[in-house]
């Protein structure tokens, strides 16, 4: 939920935006038919979402494709981050400095957090 009362949620593979007054709009129509900028097909499993309050972008974890999709306020999309082989993103957040924090899990059920700075530098925790 954003400070101004907007709620983002996933329903049947769609990313929805619900305004404070109740107006609902679709941000990503059918995830399995949408395309990320790098050409990856999106699947309906969108386990985690994060909001960048300064830019208005929403970040969506697409585990099966091992990527974090950025959905900008104008509706355009781009790949914000990609998890390495054997790892998949399951959620995250954007801190007040604009760093993207990604929760990842591995094929052997290990868990880690990856911080991707605005400058592109990464750190694992």
Distance (Å, whole) CA 26 – CA 16: 5
30 — pLDDT class (breaks 50, 70, 90)? low
Task: Please give the domain boundaries of the chain with CATH numbers for all domains.
Answer: 7-124 (2.120.10.30)
Distance (Å, whole) CA 51 – CA 3: 10
Confidence check: pLDDT of 23 > 70: yes
Task: Tell me if 57 sits within 8 A of 27, measured CB to CB.
Answer: no
Distance (Å, whole) CA 62 – CA 36: 11
pLDDT (average), residues 88-115: 93
Model pTM score = 0.71
Please report, for the chain, how many H helices and E strands are present, in that order. 0, 11
Distance (Å, whole) CA 87 – CA 72: 25
pLDDT in tens, 37-82: 554 444 445 566 777 878 888 888 888 889 898 878 776 788 999 9
End-to-end Cα separation, the chain, in angstroms = 26
Greater confidence (121 vs 50) lies with 121
């Amino acid at each position: 939920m954003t400070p101004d009362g907007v709620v983002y949620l996933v329903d049947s593979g769609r990313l929805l935006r619900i305004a404070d007054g109740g107006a609902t709009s679709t941000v990503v129509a059918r995830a399995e038919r949408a395309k990320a900028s790098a050409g990856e097909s999106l699947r309906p499993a969108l386990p985690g979402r994060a909001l960048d309050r300064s830019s208005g972008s929403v970040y969506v974890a697409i585990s099966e494709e091992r990527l974090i999709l950025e959905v900008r306020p104008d509706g355009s999309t781009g790949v914000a981050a990609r998890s390495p082989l054997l790892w998949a993103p399951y959620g995250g957040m954007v801190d007040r400095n604009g760093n993207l924090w990604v929760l990842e899990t591995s094929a052997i059920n290990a868990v880690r957090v990856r911080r991707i700075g605005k400058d592109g530098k990464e750190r694992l925790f």
